[in-house]
Structure 1
Amino acid sequence: MTTISQVAQHAKTSIGTVSRVLNNKKNVSPEARQRVLKAIAELNYTPTVASNRYQFVVVTYQLRPKQEGNDTYFVTLLTQLLYQLNTHFRHVQILSLEQLDQLDPRHVSTVIHISQSQEADEQIQQQLGQIPLIHINGHRTPDHGYNITSNHYQSAFLAMRYLHQMGHEHVHYINFDVAAPLQQQRMQGLRDAAEQLGMTCHMGLLNEKKTIFESVLDAVNNPSTCVFMGNGSMLMNTYFALLKLGIRIGEDLSFISIDAGQQTASCH
């Protein structure tokens, strides 16, 4: 059976480019698209369920009991995330925690657990087995607002692996988060992944003397995929800043927000 890797080798291109052609993405040159289509025809390649597993995303969520009330910001974040997932992935399924045992690791890319509680990732991971877990914790903390991802090192590492699989080689990273321990975890995860995958990764922090708009412009001028990290509201503001600047997301810039989870990063 022909694999996607063999198609990429035959077409003298990357697996990411083949994936973009298969999914009819626009950011592929006509020459590369033609080589991939020719290779697919010559090798008689037929995509299998396994090749689409990174587009199958399962979201689990847990809101506070009704009598305790739900934070408006958290509900907005949850709604925005579900909208982005439905926009950019073929299969998004919402399950309760009690249904996790039903998941088949052969067909599930990532589980995103959204909650307003302090539940440990390890407890949920025991139910998932080998399925990667991203935990988005909407619990407000006094030191740095919302802790959007509980395992920042893992989310950053998986995000870089995902970008590599999608054909990205150069990443420009901007951190909007001011919590130093989280910065170190994320940046180390990015560095480790970049080193293992042979990618280049430019690290940068938000300059306090610059506005979000100015920082976004700096990132756009860097010829690479831009990765923005920070709390949910900061990422949304960055996204809107791009639109107000007239930047065509998906054409002028690939926008990746890692706080929305790794392999389910909001990728435009």
Structure 2
Amino acid sequence: MAKKVTIYEVANRAKVAISTVSRVLNESPNVSPATKEKVEKAIKELNFRPQVSARKLASKEPQMLAIAVPSFTTPYFNEVLKGVKDEIKKMDLDIIMYNTGSKNPEEAVQNFFDRGTADAVILLSIDISDDVHALLQATNTPVIMVNGSHPHYSYIMLNDYRGGYLAGEHLVKQGFENIGMITTFLNSRSAQQREQGFRDALKNYRMKIDEDLFLSGDTTKHGGFTEESGFEAVNKYEQLGKFPDAVFCSNDTQAVGAIYALNQLGMKVPDDIAVMGYDNIKLSKYLDLTTIDQQMYTIGVQATEKLSQIIKNPDQELFQTTIDPQLVERGSTKNMNAK
């Protein structure tokens, strides 16, 4: 039985994007005569017969949803993607997962859009550059941003400043005085806002800030949001010869590495040192880890729901909102010396 020819093969034969093939099938005027001739020639040579998917493209209905994300391996992004995956089942869309990497993700997104393979897009922790904005406007591509913002697009922002402030406030109210933080290498809005919120909380409660207790590990992978970074930071405290009474980790994954390092040094959590994380990944519950819940799965679901609405009604008012995280108090920050 002969294999069915797909629209992708037509696009490859004609050396154009599949969106261009769809425009030709739709008899769009926005295709040059020369390009139209190339596509029609490829269709004839391959004996292509548009099936449901191709007719869907020709009718300008979105078919391919792209999710652009800096990493597939971090628990934070995985939780958001689970929400997207579960909600996307309700939409008649195929899905592409695109890993931009943590270095120059905006440039990677530009290259991806240049291929013309996405009909609708969710951007996770990625900003929209001027070039990408111009391309999206020209193609009227439905977009929603998660943990990023732009005045021309719908987005769901995460209030990382508030999350950092909640972390600092909690440790102060627990009675800790020498408080530190394991920071990151990534110069991102999220990382900066978490640290700033944390510092401001300590200042507002008139706590002394010891800069020696604010440090990062040496591993730069994923910007330092890793187990290795948490592990290395704790060993730096050991080399300095002083530990904080309580330490706030930039995410739960760092906290996992930090707790392991403390165990290796014969120190117990929270008896010798309190440890706090950020994200509320599944593992944090089983580590009895106090953390900041960003409601990542729920945000993935909500972002997909809103994108579906944008697809159905492109002219609707932009959805732009900020979600405040919540403190999840567990045993890892119990002050054993509190009166």
Fold agreement, TM-score > 0.5: no
Structure whose CA Rg is larger: 2
Name the TM-score, length of structure 2 as normaliser. 0.34
Name the TM-score, length of structure 1 as normaliser. 0.42
